[in-house]
């Protein structure tokens, strides 16, 4: 090993897997992290996958965030950019889309050797730094745009700390480094991929390892898909639009263990107010359980736990008024001294029906 010197204007990028919470469900997302070792500036964006469309879109967003384009970019052997990894005898071979992207922005790329993460150690450390300082505990994500705006603000504030080795504010070093960045091009680089898909006898095609039903797709032997990082458009071979929707991985999520969480709160109702999971509850349920009287809260936790055995948590939240009115226990429904005045909350036009939180 040899300690490397990092001139201004060079950057390293890498993906890391992070967890967020959306609609009271856990979602794994990919975080594309950029590190500029000279100034120790960090930038990051959250994306749904590590494919070519997400990678190139993420790079565009990172370039815009730092206000320029690094002269040289160091990457590992990402399938989104590299067809054939670098060997002792040959340089890496890149995808056509990535070569076009490089030519448009004017930067040079350096691919690491296989299984040599130490060659981009700065960004390897930054992936963990971003995860444990800004995405733990798992934040609530309403959508990718708002999540990335929040992350960008946090990482800009992070520049106000002192560089670990140069003893100067990272912000001051980054201002110096910006003068070495390439200018952003005036024309935008469109990121999309066009693929042909064979339609099966059920009128389905497989995108992102998910079968997607195409209306009237069975009449077409093949269809053409225009794939962007977040959406897809399916066309017939004659150009007729057959289907438009978000990409399947945009809707992938897994349920949090709400029955176990609610059972723990039921045993220790005081812990509800201090639990990180309370922030992930849908709005109506969160308000319903937020009553200050611990005995009443315990009763309500037992009621919610019983309903979760029958319905998903988002359905309990959406039908909360109806389910409460079906309950014959007056202590739960009408005359309870700590009951919630629901009109007070719903009159604020909050997005309860979408599982929003207060």
Domain ranges of the chain: 10-178, 193-251, 256-354
Q: How many residues in the chain?
A: 358
CB 321 within 8 A of CB 292: no
Q: HEC profile for 106-172?
A: CCEEEECCCCCHHHHHHHHHHHHHHHHHHCCCCCECCCHHHHHHHHHHHHHHHHHCECCCCCCEHHH
pLDDT, one tens digit per residue, over 190-241 is 999 999 999 998 889 999 989 998 888 888 889 999 999 999 999 999 999 9
Cα–Cα nearest to 315, from 15, 25, 16, 2: 25
Q: What is the model's pTM?
A: 0.81
Its CATH class, for the domain covering 193-251, is mainly beta
Mean pLDDT of 66-73: 95
CB 6 within 8 A of CB 37: yes
Quote the CA–CA distance of 108 and 71 in Å, as a whole number.
6
Quote the CA–CA distance of 91 and 47 in Å, as a whole number.
29
Residue 357, pLDDT > 60, answer no
Give the pLDDT band (50/70/90) at residue 126: very high
β-pairing verdict for 210-213 and 241-246: unpaired
Which residues fall within 8 angstroms of residue 343, CB to CB, at 6 or more apart? none
- For the chain, percent of residues with pLDDT exceeding 70: 88
Supply the pLDDT for residue 216.
81
- Regarding predicted confidence, which is higher, 150 or 112? 150
Weakest mean pLDDT among 31-40, 46-55, 69-78, 338-347? 338-347
pLDDT, one tens digit per residue, over 275-324 is 889 999 998 999 999 999 999 999 999 999 999 999 999 999 999 988 88
CB 234 within 8 A of CB 214: yes
Quote the CA–CA distance of 302 and 4 in Å, as a whole number.
60
- Regarding predicted confidence, which is higher, 119 or 169? 169
Cα–Cα nearest to 228, from 60, 358, 86, 114: 60
CATH 1.20.1090.10 at 10-178, yes or no: no
Residue 221: how many other CB atoms lie within 10 Å = 9
pLDDT, one tens digit per residue, over 9-45 is 999 999 999 999 988 889 999 999 999 999 999 999 9
pLDDT, one tens digit per residue, over 266-281 is 999 999 988 889 999 9
Give the pLDDT band (50/70/90) at residue 111: confident
What SS3 state is found at 347? coil
Cis upstream peptide for 137 (omega within 30°): yes
Q: Tell me, rounded to whole angstroms, the distance of Cα 38 from its chain centroid.
A: 28
Give the pLDDT band (50/70/90) at residue 253: confident
Residue 180, pLDDT > 80, answer yes
CB 166 within 8 A of CB 41: no
What's the token pair of residue 118?
């130490």
Supply the pLDDT for residue 90.
82
Supply the pLDDT for residue 334.
45
Supply the pLDDT for residue 356.
44
Question: Scanning the structure block, which residue is given the tokens 């100034």?
Answer: 39
Helices (H) and strands (E) in the chain, counts: 11, 14
């Amino acid at each position: 090993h040899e300690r490397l010197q990092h001139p201004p204007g060079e950057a390293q990028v890498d993906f890391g897997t992070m967890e967020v919470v959306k609609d009271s469900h856990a979602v794994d997302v990919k975080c594309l992290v950029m590190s500029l070792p000279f100034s120790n500036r960090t930038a990051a964006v959250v994306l749904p996958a590590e494919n070519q469309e997400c990678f190139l879109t993420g790079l565009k967003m990172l370039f815009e965030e730092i206000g320029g384009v690094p002269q040289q970019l160091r990457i590992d052997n990402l399938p989104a950019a590299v067809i054939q990894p670098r060997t002792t005898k040959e340089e890496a071979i890149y995808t056509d889309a990535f070569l076009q992207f490089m030519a448009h922005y004017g930067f040079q790329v350096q691919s690491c050797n296989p299984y040599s993460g130490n060659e981009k150690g700065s960004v390897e450390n930054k992936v963990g730094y971003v995860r444990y300082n800004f995405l733990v505990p798992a934040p609530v994500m309403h959508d990718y745009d708002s999540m990335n705006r929040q992350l960008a603000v946090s990482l800009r504030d992070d520049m106000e700390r002192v560089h670990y080795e140069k003893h100067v504010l990272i912000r001051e070093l980054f201002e110096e480094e910006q003068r070495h960045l390439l200018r952003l091009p005036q024309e935008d680089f469109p990121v999309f991929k066009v693929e042909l898909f064979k339609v099966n006898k059920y009128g389905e095609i497989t995108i992102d390892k998910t079968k997607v039903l195409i209306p009237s797709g069975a009449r077409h032997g093949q269809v053409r898909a225009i794939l962007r990082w977040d959406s897809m458009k399916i066309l017939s071979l004659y150009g007729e639009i057959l289907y438009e929707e978000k990409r399947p991985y945009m809707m992938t999520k897994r349920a949090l263990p709400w029955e176990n969480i609610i059972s723990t709160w039921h045993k220790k109702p005081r812990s509800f107010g201090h639990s990180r999971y309370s922030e992930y509850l849908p709005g109506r349920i969160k308000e319903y359980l937020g009553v200050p009287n611990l005995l009443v809260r315990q009763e309500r936790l037992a009621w919610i736990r019983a309903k979760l055995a029958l319905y998903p948590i988002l359905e309990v939240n959406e039908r909360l008024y109806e389910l409460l009115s079906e309950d014959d226990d007056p202590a739960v429904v009408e005359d309870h001294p700590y009951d919630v005045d629901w009109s007070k909350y719903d009159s604020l036009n909050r997005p309860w029906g979408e599982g929003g939180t207060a």
